[in-house]
Amino acid sequence: MNVRGFLDEAKSGKVSIEESTYRILEEAEKINKEYNYFNVISKDYALKSAKELDKKLKKGFKGRLAGLPISVKDSICVRGVESSAGSKILKGYVPLFNATAVQKAIDEGAIVIGKTSQDEFGFGGFSTNAGIGFKIPKNPFDKERATGGSSGGCAGFSSITKFPHVSLGESTGGSIVNPAAFCGVSGLSPTYGSVSRYGIIDYGNSLDKIGPIAKTVEDCELMFDVISGYDSKDSTSSKEGLHKDDKIKRVGIIKESLNVDPEVKEVIEKTINNLGFDYEYVSLPVSMNYGIQTYYIIAPSEASTNLAKYCGMRYGAEEELEGNFNEYFTKVRTNNFGKEVKRRILIGTFARMAGFRDAYYLKALKVRTLIIEEYKKAFKKFDVLVSPTVPILPPKFSEINKLSIMQNYMIDVLTVSPNLAGLPHLSINAGFSKKLPVGIMFTANHFEEKKLFTAGKKAESVR
């Protein structure tokens, strides 16, 4: 049963929410032993919520998500459920509040079944940078391969579950669309500011976004309609509403983005030719050639600032009190942060130090402006831009272990620039190569998510 069908039956009273929630929880527990998609399965919390919802439905409750099981990335706060961002330093943290996006979903009847696995604090493109003591999620099509990152658990479970389900992911440089592509599902990274950031465990303040991951574009659209909108709790939340125009007259194919693996290029070009849109190629040299360098200065700079609070005094894990503050601070962070977290803190701290700030951080901000201007120029001519989501098929863990740091970072080469520009982008499954999914990504101008849904549904219909 699809999500719409399930919701219709739930509202009509034909489905017991408690019973359906129990079944997906059983499935989640079984799958998790094999695939590691959850850091926490909130069984008691979910069943209690389902029982209460059954009573509300009998009294006429008509929530748009009534009874829908959802999972939430571990970097998004859920009241009463451990939320650690996949890091040992936050192990045991139980928020006293819901993220606004989570609260909006719950208000419409969604049932949170658990917190999904991820790269620690979102630092990665494969979900292999799990925090100390956390497990790495496995691709639903091949357990020897990665799910993509950093919302790997969200995409993996959304792909494999047999039940109606939508997941709330979080993206900084591609962490929604990347795993959606690797796991063969749909993922929307919305316009920056269109969904409240309140309740995110921060990575990069100017980049972080919450968005849905689901089996279909329609399911993503449904969840986005629920969670989007202005929030007074979030200073970055926008009051500008979504543009109503959903028509697509001309599509631009990003020329540089087709320099990818032949297997990926073949599937993408076949999908483009089947779409039926008028298209031509467009060059985005700044975005495609300098996006990675720009992102890996700005994002770590913001991350190093955000993570400074985890020092074991007010926030984060505690160690035995000994030595001076710097010694204690160092011990807490050494023992509880993973290798990639430490690396990005060092990069970010260096980039914004006196003497280097002008040479690196401020220059990166100027390039970011050029990237935004380049996209804006393209959108004067095109309604939607198209590219592969990631340049390769889902790699094996053994292959990832042989990659250099730079090769690891290059997995985001096609996704960082839309995030730097705050643009909405949608990845859907374009087809398969060697029995592995290939993602195609549509990018639109700010607040033009409706055009993405039009393009995505069309691509689904010709797959």
Tell me whether residue 21 is in a domain: yes
Tell me whether residue 74 is in a domain: yes
Q: What is the pTM of this model?
A: 0.97
Rounded Cα–Cα distance for residues 160 and 68 (Å): 16
Residues 6+ apart with CB under 8 A from 31: 37, 157, 160, 161
Between strands 186-189 and 250-254, the pairing is unpaired
Residue 101 has pLDDT above 90, yes or no: yes
Taking phi over 0 as left and psi of -120 to 50 as alpha, with beta for the rest, 247 belongs to: beta
pLDDT of 463 reads 83
Rounded Cα–Cα distance for residues 301 and 145 (Å): 30
pLDDT of 355 reads 87
Tell me whether residue 334 is in a domain: no
pLDDT of 299 reads 98
Which positions are annotated as active-site residues? 73, 150, 175
Number of domains in the chain: 1
Mean pLDDT of the chain: 97
pLDDT tens-place string over residues 139-172: 999 999 999 999 999 999 999 999 999 999 999 9
On whether the CB atoms of residues 290 and 262 are closer than 8 A, the answer is no
H or E stretch including 407?
helix 405-409
* 238's tokens: 């926008």
Tell me whether residue 114 is in a domain: yes
pLDDT tens-place string over residues 274-330: 999 999 999 999 999 999 999 999 999 999 999 999 999 889 999 988 899 899 999
pLDDT of 129 reads 98
pLDDT over 70 percentage in the chain: 100
Residues 6+ apart with CB under 8 A from 358: none
pLDDT tens-place string over residues 44-71: 999 999 999 999 999 999 999 999 999 9
Q: Where are the beta strands (DSSP E) in 196-270?
A: 209-214, 250-254
Tell me whether residue 413 is in a domain: no
Q: What is the mean pLDDT of residues 371-382?
A: 98
Query: Phi/psi at 167 (nearest 5 deg)?
Result: -115, 145
Q: What is the CATH number of the domain that holds 165?
A: 3.90.1300.10
Residue 210 has pLDDT above 90, yes or no: yes
Domain range spanning residue 12? 3-227
pLDDT of 13 reads 86
CA of 306: how far to CAs of 118, 168, 200, 205, 395, in Å?
Answer: 18, 22, 12, 8, 31
pLDDT over 90 percentage in the chain: 96
Which amino acid type is present at position 86? G
Please report, for the chain, how many H helices and E strands are present, in that order. 16, 11
pLDDT of 354 reads 87
pLDDT band of 1, cuts 50, 70, 90: confident
pLDDT band of 200, cuts 50, 70, 90: very high
Tell me whether residue 281 is in a domain: no
Tell me whether residue 235 is in a domain: no
The two most distant CA atoms of the chain are separated, in Å, by 68
Q: What is the mean pLDDT of residues 269-275?
A: 95
pLDDT of 140 reads 98
pLDDT band of 11, cuts 50, 70, 90: confident
pLDDT tens-place string over residues 29-42: 999 999 999 999 99
Rounded Cα–Cα distance for residues 171 and 10 (Å): 31
Tell me whether residue 106 is in a domain: yes
Residue 208 has pLDDT above 80, yes or no: yes
On whether the CB atoms of residues 217 and 460 are closer than 8 A, the answer is yes
Rounded Cα–Cα distance for residues 78 and 93 (Å): 11
Q: Which of 167, 177, 179 is closest to 126 using CA atoms? A: 179
Percentages helix, strand, coil for the chain, rounded to the nearest 5?
A: 45, 15, 40
pLDDT band of 379, cuts 50, 70, 90: very high
